[in-house]
């Protein structure tokens, strides 16, 4: 495909959406965008969310520009601290948010019907490509997923929801393996939260920081 063809095939849906954005939200928040461009961003919260198109944090939390620093990956996982010279995109985003932006709240946000979690619970799943990037990535949850698979008392749906929530606690543990995060949390300069969004009902469940249980927040 030539470069010209690529330009011509830029999706119409995106261009018409962009037009509506410029006439609506951008027009309404022009000053805010200008201020953010001049002063730089100062988001209040870092959110680790899934790539899933149905669970965008900016939509769920009704956030404007400059409010949320969002890192999205398959199944909203935080890998453990591993300064091994490899390419760690999520760790890079965490490092920037905490050390440069001085974010003071981190939310690991999972969601219902997560395809990544469902893949982690299916030991017979074939790789989607020879690289098996999803298989390797979801391997972060292997020990936890294996325990749930072995329980015959749970239905498939119960296993799925359980792993979606357990993986949030697991990611929070991994967050604390980053020295810059654990030190700030100990000094009470950083707070870590868990949340789970049910895409079918719109319910938001938040993690009780004492028990780890997921509860509906009071409004």
User: Binding-site residues for Zn(2+), please?
Assistant: 50, 52, 111, 114
Tell me which residue has tokens 């989607």: 128
- Of the candidates 41, 76, 69, 47, the one whose C-alpha atom is nearest the C-alpha of residue 192 is 47
Q: What is the smallest separation between the CB atom of 24 and Zn ion, expressed in angstroms?
A: 28
Of residues 56 and 101, the one with the C-beta less far from Zn ion: 56
Of residues 145 and 184, the one with the C-beta less far from Zn ion: 145
Query: 41: which 2 tokens?
Result: 């961003």
Of residues 52 and 106, the one with the C-beta less far from Zn ion: 52
For residue 34, count CB atoms less than 10 angstroms from its CB and return exposed for 0-12, middle for 13-18, buried for 19 or more: exposed
Query: Interface residues with Zn ion (CB under 5 A)?
Result: 50, 52, 114, 116
Q: What is the smallest separation between the CB atom of 114 and Zn ion, expressed in angstroms?
A: 3
Q: How far is CA 211 from the centre of its chain?
A: 22
Of residues 97 and 114, the one with the C-beta less far from Zn ion: 114
Distance CA 213, CA 210 (A): 8
Distance CA 200, CA 82 (A): 36
Q: What is the smallest separation between the CB atom of 115 and Zn ion, expressed in angstroms?
A: 6
Of residues 57 and 116, the one with the C-beta less far from Zn ion: 116
Query: 131: which 2 tokens?
Result: 């690289």
Task: Put the strands of the sheet holding 105-111 in their side by side order.
Answer: 68-73, 45-50, 105-111, 191-197, 204-207, 214-215
Q: What is the smallest separation between the CB atom of 113 and Zn ion, expressed in angstroms?
A: 8
Residue stretches of the annotated binding site: 50, 52, 111, 114
Tell me which residue has tokens 């461009």: 37
Q: What is the smallest separation between the CB atom of 59 and Zn ion, expressed in angstroms?
A: 15
């Amino acid at each position: 495909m030539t470069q010209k063809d690529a330009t011509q095939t830029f999706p119409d849906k995106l261009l018409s959406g962009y037009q509506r954005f410029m006439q609506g939200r951008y027009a309404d928040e022009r000053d805010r965008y200008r201020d953010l461009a001049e002063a730089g961003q100062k988001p209040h919260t870092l959110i680790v969310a899934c790539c899933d198109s149905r669970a965008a944090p900016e939509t769920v939390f009704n956030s404007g520009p400059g409010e949320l620093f969002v890192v999205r990956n398959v199944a909203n996982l935080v890998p453990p601290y591993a300064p091994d010279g490899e390419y760690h995109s999520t760790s890079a985003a965490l490092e920037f948010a905490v050390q440069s932006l001085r974010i003071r709240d981190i939310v690991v946000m999972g969601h219902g019907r997560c395809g990544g979690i469902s893949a982690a619970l299916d030991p017979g799943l074939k790789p989607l490509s020879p690289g098996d990037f999803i298989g390797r990535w979801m391997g972060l949850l292997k020990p936890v997923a294996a325990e749930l698979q072995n329980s015959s008392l749970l239905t498939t749906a119960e296993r799925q929801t359980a792993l979606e929530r357990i993986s949030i606690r697991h990611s929070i543990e991994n967050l604390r393996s980053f020295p810059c995060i654990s030190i700030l949390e100990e000094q009470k300069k950083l707070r870590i939260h868990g949340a789970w969004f049910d895409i079918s009902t719109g319910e938001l469940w938040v993690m009780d920081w004492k028990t780890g249980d997921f509860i509906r927040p009071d409004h």
